[in-house]
Chain A
Amino acid sequence: MSNDPNTMRTTVRQVRYLGSAKSGTHHVWHMRLTSFALVPLTIAFVWVILSLVGKDYNTVRSALGSPGIAIIVLLFLLASVYHMMLGMQTIIEDYLHTPVLKTWSLMGNTFFSICIGLARVYAVLRLSFT
């Protein structure tokens, strides 16, 4: 987008008829989709954690590794990691305006989310299969 100081044309005028990015509502829709899924999943996850309070290692291990609980926990972990990645992306886009800082932050957000998502899923799967 041009920031030519010698034009009064608005930025919208400069991009009109160039075609849409065709992904305008994608972000907000996925935010809502994951929010909706996360309401029951969060309640279920808190329930799981409450059922494990004060339990010894073997009980926690076999509970987290049992199919029903593992699937609920995995759904919660996957939905929440995608949700938080989208949320942090919005925050970065809202507050960071320096191109370099913004790009690095967006990359950092994606990498952090993928790493944390993978690590947590790996941990639950390992509890399930070993």
Chain B
Amino acid sequence: MAEAKNRTVSPEARRPLSPHLQIYRPMLTMMMSIMHRITGIALYAGTLLLAWWLIAAATDARAFDTANSILTSIIGKLVLLGFTWALFHHMLGGIRHFIWDTGRGMDHPQREYLAQATLIGGFVLTAVVWVVAYMVR
């Protein structure tokens, strides 16, 4: 009877499933994987900002000054700070993937170190760029 009843369910639904995200305890490597996607999406949206700035520069001095005054306001600077961090975090995440592509760095301590290096490296590079930006300004 149970067998006959089961036949109405698709074979995909009857196969066992691997545990999904909410089953796992949050781990650094998992968080970094999620952050890689989120920073990717943020950078995708950020292209609008860069396009706007480039088009303003290509238009005239007035459009450029308007764009610059918005981007150098406090909110503008916060957005650009986030943009810088997302860019470096995503770039270092990509380098981590290159290391994995060679078959290295996938064992327990190494992958944790790589995750930590990506996280810290992203903040350090962002800080360096912004310190330089304030120095050359």
- B95 and A123: CB pair below 8 A? no
B31: Cβ under 8 A from any A Cβ:
no
Cβ A38 vs Cβ B132 within 8 A: no
Stretch at the interface among B22-30, B36-44, B105-113, B114-122: B36-44
Interface size class of B (residues with CB under 8 A): 35 or more
**Residue numbers in B under 8 Å from A39 (CB-CB):** 91, 94-95
Inside 8 A of B12's CB, which chain A residues have their CB? 3, 11
The distance in angstroms between the C-alpha atoms of A122 and B95, with both chains bound, is 30
Q: Which of A10, A50, A60, A126 lies in contact with B64, CB distance below 8 A?
A: A60
Contact residues, B44-96 vs A (CB, 8 A): 44, 47-48, 50-51, 54-55, 57-58, 61, 64-65, 84, 87, 91, 94-95
Nearest-Cβ distance from residue B120 to partner chain A, whole angstroms: 18
Q: Is the CB of B133 within 8 A of A120?
A: no
- Establish whether residues B47 and A80, one from each chain, have CB atoms under 8 Å apart when the complex forms: yes
| Chain A interface SS verdict (over half) | helix
What separation, in Å, do the CA atoms of A36 and B98 have in the docked complex? 8
Interface contact B37-A116, CB-CB below 8 Å = no
Q: Hey, which chain B residues are within 8 Å of A38, CB to CB? A: 91, 94
Chain A window 1-41, contacts with chain B (Cβ cutoff 8 Å), 1 for yes, 0 for no: 00101111111000000000000000000001001101100
The answer to whether A50 and B133 touch (CB under 8 A), given A36-B98, A38-B94, is: yes
Is residue A72 contacting chain B, with contact meaning CB distance below 8 A?
A: no
Q: For the complex, is A107 an interface residue (Cβ under 8 Å from B)?
A: no
Most buried by A among B7, B43, B51: B51
Contact residues in A for B54 (Cβ distance below 8 Å):
64, 119-120, 123-124, 127
